[in-house]
Amino acid sequence: MYPILFKVGPLDVTTYYVLWAAALFLMITWTRRRAVSMYGMTFGDATDVLLWMIFGVFIGAMLGGYLANWTKYAGSPAKILNFWESGVSSGPGFIGGGLAGLYKLKRLKVSPNAFAEAAAVPCAFMLFVGRWGCFLNGCCLGIRTDSPWGVAFPFAPSVRVFPTQLFESFAALAIGMILVITERKLGRSPRNSQRGAFLMPIFLLLYGAYRFFFDFLRAGDRILGLRLGQYTGAIACVVGIVWFICSFRNSRAKNVVSASDEHENLH
């Protein structure tokens, strides 16, 4: 739609990289502020974890790009060395960032629940902004359709496809709003987050669900009939459900203990 934002001499500044860079910057700065002001982390610890997460996101997203476009490399394995052509995949990026973040949190002896709660809302809005970069760049295309939802891109004006980039963008926006409302209802705080995370499990569940559904409308390589994003989406759903159940049980058990302690103090 609008792949080149502007030019600096011979250099093309692409809309895709500008919007995804802006989305990542939003996530980093907002997560750090929330981690410090709302969930009791120090500025240094939050920064360290985010740096590790960014590294993990890039590694995971690039490896995911290879897998998501595996037929391209199956026919010419030498192209694997052209890492700038691999593309990126958000699902594996989340996995890579999550694993790197957990490693650093463990080293710092900081609660993963507190950081996860701080990151959940910014992650949703990051996807909302970033997917517009995909749409304006004309990548992550949907399959052909004759429905009113179809969009024709300039490089193929006679072909209408599902604008899956926008579907995912608005789904992420809806998730972000749900998380904001949920956070206010729960009254999250450093003390509450020690009992378990709820925002991040909800994010993982809803993100995984929309990735699994919308990827049926996405064009591209498939593995055993499904796209890579659908496998990572299914993993996100399972992790979100298990995490939510564990947090609920832990929170309920600690509430019972707190009530018992208060009863003993009254007597």
pLDDT in tens, 194-208: 667 899 999 999 999
pLDDT band at 254 (very low <50, low <70, confident <90, very high): low
d(CA 106, CA 74): 38
pLDDT surpassing 90 at residue 69: no
Please tell me which residue, 12 or 95, carries the higher pLDDT value.
Answer: 95
Tell me the pLDDT tens digit for each residue of 122-181.
999 999 999 999 999 888 899 999 988 899 988 888 899 999 999 999 999 999 999 999
- Sorted by sequence, the CB contacts under 8 Å of residue 94 that are 6+ apart come out as 57, 60, 123, 207, 232, 236
**Pairwise pLDDT comparison (265 vs 212), residue with the higher score:** 212
What does the pLDDT look like over 44-60, one tens digit per residue?
999 999 999 999 998 88
Model pTM?
0.86
pLDDT for the residue 154 = 85
Arithmetic mean of pLDDT, 62-66: 79
Q: What is the pLDDT of residue 2?
A: 78
Residue 5 vs residue 48, higher pLDDT: 48
User: 211-220 pLDDT, tens per residue?
Assistant: 999 999 998 8
pLDDT at 34: 94
Would you list the domain boundaries of the chain? 4-261
